[in-house]
A = this chain, B = another copy of it.
């Protein structure tokens, strides 16, 4: 990409390991604003990388992380959480001296633990991050430059994280139109367990429950519009979500247990035909949701 502005680009060479919805969309967004000069893709599936090349998302690719990170000033790890540690171990000795490493994982304590294991300690130029954006679709074909516009990106730097590295990653995400905020690792994982991981588990679980009923074909035939919206996230990538559930299991279980206790209370109210209790729950929920999306 030719940079026609007088300013040097924010990032000279970006290496995206895992060119899927998130990695692909970041590359597209940064290329659009000429915030990056060159994007090197990396992944295990050569077909995906060829596709990304065709789509103009990346400039070149390597299937080996070792080669892919060579000379990159920013490396984005956009692989499922279960693959983070192995990728870190592979790139450890091959990063450029000043390279800033970041990720897009949906949980952060686990990535921090992976970094400690892979690098011996958490590198000062590792800035963990999580773009709160995505769709139920996955893969580079689903990526688009506007994915992060108006969305939040949470960075979870440690006290010892290099501030200049942190600033670069903040500017990178800002260039996509995202609103960047900082948060503690533990807090991030609890908040996301409640608002993202738990709903995904419920959606997958509901569809799975219905799919196992005897007359499931008939049942699904009469699903209305609300069902489509409610279950949209059950079309998300099973491997990515499996990894999230395992990696963020403690906060997720806490949220699951709280939900299950409330659901059982509600089920008991249904069992005894206690309309008043049911209505109280429903009204509290409606008020909370209407407030959330008001205007």
Asked if B208 contacts A284 (CB within 8 A), the reply is: yes
Is A164 close to B, CB under 8 A?
no
Q: How big is the A interface, by class?
A: 35 or more
Asked if A263 contacts B260 (CB within 8 A), the reply is: yes
Asked if B230 contacts A288 (CB within 8 A), the reply is: no
Asked if A233 contacts B238 (CB within 8 A), the reply is: no
Min C-beta distance of A37 to chain B, whole Å: 30
Is A152 close to B, CB under 8 A?
yes
Question: Known contacts A199-B227, A226-B136, A270-B249; is A281 also within 8 Å of B208 by CB?
Answer: yes
Asked if B241 contacts A205 (CB within 8 A), the reply is: no
Q: How far is the CA of A204 from the CA of B277 in the complex (A)?
A: 13
Asked if A191 contacts B222 (CB within 8 A), the reply is: yes
A189-231 contacts to B, CB under 8 A, are 191-192, 194-196, 198-213, 215-216, 218-220, 222-231
Is A117 close to B, CB under 8 A?
no
Question: Known contacts A224-B195, A260-B260; is A231 also within 8 Å of B289 by CB?
Answer: yes
